[in-house]
Structure 1
Amino acid sequence: MSRTAPVRSLRAWLQRLSADGRLAVARPGIGLKHEAAAVANRLDGTRATLFPRPGGGEGTIVSGLVSSRAWMAEALGTTEDALVAHFTRAAADPMPWRELPGGPAQEVVHRHGIDLLKLLPVPTLNEHDSGPYISAGLMISRDAETGVQNVAILRCQISAPDRIGVLVLPRHTDSFYRKAEAAGRGLEVALVVGVDPACLLASQAIVPLGHDELEIAGTLTGAPLDVVRCLTNGVRVPAEAEIVIEGRLLPEVREPEGPFGEFPQYYGERAKRHVMQVDAVTHREAPIFHMIVGGGLEHLLLGAIPREATILAALRRSFPGVEDVHLSLGGVGRYHLYVKLRKTQDGEGKNVLLGAFAAHYDIKHAVVVDTDVDIHDPQEVEWAVATRFQADRDLVVVAEAQGSKLDPSARDGVGAKMGLDATVPVGAPPMKFKRIAVPGQAEMDLAAVIDPAADWRAAAGLTHG
């Protein structure tokens, strides 16, 4: 698989997709309520989609930018088989960004009379979503005391012309917010919509508090990310971004937000959430609004790839025989983990399973297989379970463990974890688990042996009837 040059802006990536037929352009005027999302879902994983003048107004929406692993690898200038390792190296060696005095993200400025739904083509996605959502915005927050930033994709509901309801989970953004709220002030933030694939993927990195994910984006493409300072606060944002919404998460304020279609392909419930007060909106000329449809491939892959990198690094620290990990799409890119292990002693598979559960709380079901199994092929993993696993001997169950709060089968995120050790016993006779194979099959040149123009009757010697 060949490498290509990395891209460093959304527009450069759209040009790359368009050049070889991977970008579909919808007719102008596609509806903002459900219709754009429906089209995007129909093309999910095959083509990205551009929607000119959606809803009959101004603006442009794009969706499906990174809806395959191969596309993501291409955008970063690497190969699909090296993608997780590439991300792991970038997360471990961030590259400081480069601040510029200005950039395309601030070509047009709105400071007064802001009405987000008049300025931007914000769509309503799934059937029971509570209204228009910014689903692909990077929420960049800044600790006022240290200047350290954090980047995350948070679901953002347009709840008033200049107010946004935000689901802030108990992670790094929340840590910054609690510190600001305790000091009696709001948390400076910027909601950035329309960035390059590296910024999107970097935003999902699982790193310690105090690491700015924008620096990981630089390493992913091999050059420092150009940033600019917001006009109304100290947050730094990608200079090539399409849209920047500047504001503050208000202290001591909570308002209803949700429901919203989430990655498990169920709805996140309605509850009182944090509120962002918008102070300014800046954007490029003719900005492009990025939409991620909840539960689609783009949503799942952006969560899966960084988690794979984190889990792989955590497992290898204790188990050097772990060669690869994969979060399957059937497990919504979060809950089902497959691990490839070069096992050296019996019992090691079970230890790896326990390590996987500890590596990330989202993991619900895990399967460990041998190195002859392709963990990126669900049929291969199922075959290993069918032929190398016995439930009374190889099953691990952990009750009452922390999991995902978005798993509807869990009790507020508490549930069971199940591990399946589908590896071959170390001392098994060589032929007992030997996979069948036809010599020369992989190397066979089918074009040299198949005649596409042949008539089957004549070839079989059937001259009559």
Structure 2
Amino acid sequence: MNSRESSPMTSLGAPANDVGPARTLRHWLAHLSRSGRVAAIDKPVALEHELAAIAKCLDGTQAAFFTQPGGHAVPVVSGFMSKRAWIAEAMGVDESALLARFSAAAAAPLESKVVGREEAPCQQVVHTSGIDLHALLPIPTHSEYDNGPYLTAGLVIARNPRTGVQNVSINRIQVHGQNRMAILLLPRHLYAFHREAEAAGDALDVAIAIGVDPLTMLASQAITPIDHDELEIAGALHGAPLPVAQCVTNGVHVPAFAEIVIEGRILPNVREPEGPFGEFPKYYSAREAREVIEVTAVTHRRDPIFHTIVPAEMEHLLLGAIPREATLLAHLQRSHPAVKDVHLSVGGVCRYHLWVQFDKKREGEAKNVILCAFGAHYDIKQVVVVDTDVNVHDPAEIEWAIATRFQADRDLVVIEGAQGSPLDPSTTVGQPDDAPSHLQGVSAKMGLDATRPVVYPAHVFTRVRIPGQDSVDLHTLVAADNSAFDAYLSRDHD
């Protein structure tokens, strides 16, 4: 295999102006490690299932760092974005300000800064011939019935063939050859770019950036109109233009501080089998003919780190949830300014169930909010609207509001035959396995108005509270030991 190294760099870390823990993947991992949030697995671990099983056991408590994955010299990391509080920490804001910070960045993107190859760690080592992805990279097979190893944490970057503006997304990619991969394209921007190129008989140049910082990962999932480069949102989240480098075999710009970049092109009029694959709803998607990427180059840092996302676990779910929540909140507030907060629940796989906190002033408003939410994103299957005294981030609070403020004959909204998520297996009931795409994902929507009446007698809907409960300081009240308690019990009270 032919490869070359660029000239030595002064640092493998972030640029000299780096501040804060989330500028690069390495800085973020070092930050997590200092606070005990990285578990290093130093023993050999199999790439097929074992690595994903260990990462899943650590999900939400520690990032997993595998030093010997499948006999590879390249380590694997997973789970470094598996808690909402960690993502807020990477942004440098309180968890309550997470959505506002993301929305502000999406509304004011910063143009990326193009740097030369000597300033781009992702191109320290370059492979352009004899490429064997399985030999170069430790690519795991995650779930029991997955049809082989998958890239699950790569930012897929491509340019609009008509305008030249980039798009960034995360797509599942099955590696089924030395330099050949099948990619799932849902009907979004990358799909549109490929169809435009394919109609002209052209391949679509792409790059897959693996091992980027958490803010760039999050920006890739922003819900924007076509021809908005998500790397510019990443720059806004960082507070400075994101350094990007041009690929060595095409014109795509990639994050300069990525660990690994796979360059290639999506071929026109070529489809190959992909799947099954365990997806975010915690079910498998079917084996189908998918678009194909032919790899033209692999570039990486010296001593790179490979990032994998365990499907359907918290890193996967939160990456989709937070950008969607920010978009949904802004969308709802444009028509209903009294909407205060939203949350895509983990039980609803951070896609299908939306909880909305709303300051209701007139009867019937909550139903309008429900209908507005369904129009905001086709994935949403269930909406619950609650009052401002209910915490939308607490499932027990939502269940309590439904139990005490909802009546099905009065407060239920059902919409039949709407477009839903094609990955929701319940939408396929009654459909043949080869149903055409225009029949896939047809779903019923359900809304629950779990708000109390605007006017009610006496204290019927007044929430029970004990005065002073919020100001109790147990640290100053509870004794350091139980000696007084033990002494009291030792008295003779018979």
Q: TM-score range by the shorter chain?
A: over 0.9
How many Å apart are 1:183 and its aligned residue? Answer: 1.1
Name which of structure 1's ranges 339-348 and 442-451 shifts more when overlaid on structure 2: 442-451
**Shift in alpha-carbon separation, 1:211–1:268, aligned structure 2, 3 A:** same
Structure 1, unaligned stretches of length 5 or more?
none
In the TM superposition, residue 8 of structure 1 has moved relative to its aligned partner by 1.2
**Correspondent of 1:397 among 372, 395, 414:** 414
User: Partner of 2:399: helix, strand, or coil?
Assistant: helix
State the partner residue of 2:352. 335
Question: Is 1:367–1:420's contact at 8 Å kept on the other side of the alignment?
Answer: yes
- Equivalent of residue 487 in structure 2, options 442, 458, 461: 458
The reply to whether residue 277 of structure 1 matches residue 294 of structure 2 is yes
How big is the shift at 1:462? 3.7
Distance 2:306 2:285 in 1: 23
Deviations 1:108-131 (A, max 9, x none): 000110000000000000111000
Contact 1:186 1:250 in 2 (8 A): yes
The DSSP-based 3-state class of the residue aligned with 1:382 is helix
8 A Cα contact 1:28 1:56, kept in partner: no
Q: TM-score, normalised by structure 1?
A: 0.98
TM-score w.r.t. length of structure 2 = 0.92
In the TM superposition, 1:4-403 aligns within 5 A as 5=20, 7-102=22-117, 103-403=120-420
Deviation string, structure 1 residues 80-137 (Cα, Å, up to 9, x no partner): 1101111111111111000001200000000110000000000000111000101000
- Deviations along 1:378-403, one digit per CA (max 9) or x if unpaired, are 00010000000000000000011110
Question: Matches of residues 437-452 of structure 1 in structure 2 within 5 Å?
Answer: 437-452=465-480
Q: Which AA in structure 2 matches 1:368?
A: V
Maintained 8 Å contact 2:169/2:221 = yes
Q: CA deviation at 1:450?
A: 1.6
* Mean Cα deviation higher: 350-359 or 143-152: 143-152
- Specify the code of the residue in structure 1 equivalent to 2:98: L
Displacement of 1:53: 2.2
Alpha-carbon distance between aligned partners in 2 of 1:283 and 1:337, rounded to the nearest angstrom: 39
The code of the aligned residue for 1:388 comes to R
Q: Give 1:432 deviation, angstroms.
A: 1.1
> Displacement of 1:146 after TM fit?
1.9
Supply the distance in 2 between the matched residues of 1:96 and 1:130 (Cα, whole angstroms). Answer: 39
Cα deviation 1:162-206 (Å, max 9, x = unaligned): 001100111000111011111111001001110001111011010
What's the offset of the Cα at 1:430?
A: 4.6
Distance change >3 Å, CA 449–CA 77, structure 1 → 2: closer
Is the CA contact 2:72–2:137 (under 8 Å) kept in the aligned structure 1? Answer: no
Count how many residue pairs are aligned between Structure 1 and Structure 2: 462
Question: Aligned partner of 1:276: which letter?
Answer: I
> For 1:283 and 1:457, how far apart are their aligned partners in 2?
64
Q: Partner amino acid for 2:195?
A: R
Does the 8 A contact of 1:33 with 1:125 survive in 2?
yes
Q: What amino acid maps onto 1:459 in structure 2?
A: Y
Question: Of 437, 441, 447, which aligns to 1:419?
Answer: 447
Contact 2:60 2:82 in 1 (8 A): yes
Partner SS for 1:95: coil
1:464/1:431 CA distance change after superposition, 3 Å? closer
Deviation at 1:429, TM superposition (A): 2.3
d(CA) in 2 for partners of 1:433, 1:5: 46
Range with bigger deviation, 292-301 or 77-86: 77-86
Note the C-alpha offset of 1:436: 0.7
- How much does 1:454 deviate? 1.5
Contact kept? 1:457, 1:463, Cα under 8 Å: no
* Cα distance in 2 between the residues matched to 1:447 and 1:87: 35
5+ residue gaps, structure 2, are: 1-18, 429-439
The separation in 2 between residues aligned to 1:463 and 1:184, in whole angstroms, is: 95
Q: Within 1, Cα distance between the matches of 2:462 and 2:88?
A: 34
Letter in 2 for 1:449: L
Code of the residue aligned with 2:148 in structure 1: it is: G
Percent of aligned positions that are identical: 59
Supply the AA of the counterpart residue of 1:415: S
Q: Aligned letter for 1:82?
A: A
| Post-superposition offset of 1:145 | 3.7
* Alignment partners' CA distance in 2, 1:245 and 1:424: 54
Partners of 2:482 and 2:211 in 1: CA distance: 52
1:428 is displaced (CA, Å) by 1.4
Equivalent residue of 1:188, what SS?
A: strand
Query: Letter of the aligned partner of 2:488 in structure 1?
Result: A
Q: CA deviation at 1:457?
A: 4.5
